[in-house]
Amino acid sequence: MSGRLHRPQRWAWFLERPGYLLFMARELTGFFVAGYLVVLLVTLGRLGGGETAFAEWLQTLSTPGWTVAHAVALAASVWHSVTWFAAVPQAMPIQLGEKRLPAPLAAVVMGYGPWLTVTTIIVWGVLR
pTM: 0.73
Average pLDDT over residues 19-26: 89
Q: Closest Cα partner for 107 from 95, 93, 119, 120?
A: 93
If one counts every other C-beta atom within 10 angstroms of the C-beta of residue 76, the result is 20
pLDDT in tens, 84-112: 888 888 888 888 889 988 888 888 888 89
User: What pLDDT is recorded for position 62?
Assistant: 94
Tens digit of each residue's pLDDT (9 = 90 or more) over 45-76 = 999 999 999 999 999 999 999 999 999 999 99
Q: Quote the pLDDT of residue 68.
A: 95
Sketch out the chain's domains with CATH numbers: 10-91 (1.20.1300.10), 93-128 (no CATH)
Inter-residue contact 67 to 86 (CB < 8 Å): no
